Chains A and B, each alone.
Chain A
Amino acid sequence: MLDVEKLLEEDPLEIAGRRFKSRLIIGSGKFKSFQQNKEVLEASGAEIITVAVRRVNITDPNKENLLDYIDPKKYLILPNTAGCYTAEEAIKTAMLAREATGINWIKLEVIGDQKTLLPDMEETLKAAKFLVKEGFVVLPYIFDDPVYAKKFEDVGCAAVMPLAAPIGSGLGLQNPYNIMFIKESVSIPVIVDAGIGSAADIPPVMELGVDAILTNTALAEAKDPIKMAIAMKYAVIAGRLSYLAGRMPKRTYAVPSSPLKGVPYKS
């Protein structure tokens, strides 16, 4: 008999040669407490969690630390370059992140506009090229542009992370066609990052054949983040299996499911 565990084991997510059972990646921003963040992480089944790089507050240096709650041996801690507006800033931040995490993975983010937080693709590509040469496993946050997505693959990125909608907007998938085109244009994993509003937004994205989902605000701002994490865990599985199962064609008019012949009392 088919069972979920077996299906998931046979279909791992693979990024830069590393295998993951879960196709859900979560962020660690905006949670009420580190304890809540930890419980959400466990409930979500995610194996990768993103973090940000920030200055230690030297007037109050020893506040609680996220890493007291999340074990780097158990989870892949994926640092981001959030808050960077140029390739140079992102590169410097990535160098600090590598020393801080002890691994060479980086979620590359170079923002071009404060209001929309949309990426500056030219600067992101510049930083990606440099960081790949430096030996980083680069996962760039990008606009849902299939032409650019290919350029990121060509310079050696390990995955691309196109947005579903602006960061923190919760608007859900805005352009399924572009995500579909990106899936067709690259062979590296496509991780849809940003814009997911709830678990219900996830299956339609996964059904496009996307490899994984990254979400943060939809968890942190849910009324019950732990329930949302469980919902998302299953939403990702449902969407993935639905994609693998293959959807029926869409039709304009109805097609009966029951036989037309032999209806009782019909003359």
Chain B
Amino acid sequence: MILYINGEPRQVERELNLRELLDYLGITFREIGLAISVNGEVVPKSKYAEVRLKEGDSVEIIHLVGGG
């Protein structure tokens, strides 16, 4: 299925929850410094294992970077 991750279409082979998506993308989970929204809704970290992604979902994965 196709997911839109940070604005880019991305083909994934199987159904994933958010925890699995991070592993799939090689992104280290961190309690502080990471956030994910699915279709515009921010998902709390405690729910990463529950939220399963569907075809066409739009996922934003952000971190904290240097800024003023």
B5 / chain A contacts, CB cutoff of 8 Å: 58
With contact pairs A55-B60, A56-B61 given, residues A67 and B30 touching in the complex (Cβ less than 8 Å): yes
Flag whether A82 is at the interface (Cβ < 8 A). yes
Considering the chains assembled together, what is the distance between the CA atoms of A55 and B6 in angstroms?
Answer: 6
A75-119 CB mask vs B (1 if < 8 Å, else 0) is: 001011010000000001001111111100000000000000000
A55 touches B61 (CB 8 A): yes
A82 touches B67 (CB 8 A): yes
Considering the chains assembled together, what is the distance between the CA atoms of A28 and B65 in angstroms?
Answer: 8
Considering the chains assembled together, what is the distance between the CA atoms of A62 and B34 in angstroms?
Answer: 12
Considering the chains assembled together, what is the distance between the CA atoms of A27 and B64 in angstroms?
Answer: 12
CB distance from A210 to the nearest CB of B (A): 18
Residues of chain B in range 1-49 having any CB-CB distance to chain A below 8 Å:
5-8, 10, 25-28, 30-37, 40, 42-45
A65 touches B67 (CB 8 A): no
B25 touches A97 (CB 8 A): no
A101 / chain B contacts, CB cutoff of 8 Å: 32-33, 64
Task: Give the contacting residue for A62; candidates B27, B37, B66; CB below 8 A.
Answer: B27
B45 touches A99 (CB 8 A): yes
A56 touches B33 (CB 8 A): no
A102 touches B31 (CB 8 A): yes
Flag whether A243 is at the interface (Cβ < 8 A). no
Closest to A194 in B: B68
A51 touches B66 (CB 8 A): yes
A100 touches B68 (CB 8 A): no
Q: Using C-beta atoms within 8 Å of the partner chain, give the interface range for chain B.
A: 20 to 34
B44 touches A66 (CB 8 A): no
B35 touches A58 (CB 8 A): no
A56 / chain B contacts, CB cutoff of 8 Å: 6, 27, 34, 61-63
Task: Give the contacting residue for B62; candidates A72, A77, A96, A194; CB below 8 A.
Answer: A96
CB distance from B54 to the nearest CB of A (A): 19
B62 / chain A contacts, CB cutoff of 8 Å: 53-56, 96, 100
With contact pairs A67-B33, A80-B68, A95-B37 given, residues A100 and B28 touching in the complex (Cβ less than 8 Å): no
With contact pairs A55-B6, A72-B32 given, residues A29 and B61 touching in the complex (Cβ less than 8 Å): no
Flag whether A132 is at the interface (Cβ < 8 A). no
Beyond A53-B63, A92-B37, A100-B62, 12 additional pairs, beta carbon < 8 A: A27-B66, A27-B68, A52-B66, A52-B67, A54-B65, A55-B62, A56-B61, A61-B27, A66-B65, A96-B62, A97-B35, A102-B32
Partner-B contacts on A (CB < 8 A): 27-31, 34, 37, 50-56, 58, 61-62, 65-67, 72, 77, 79-80, 82, 92, 95-102, 167-168, 194, 214, 216-217
Can you identify 7 A-B contacts, CB atoms within 8 angstroms?
A: A28-B68, A29-B67, A53-B35, A56-B63, A61-B25, A99-B35, A168-B68
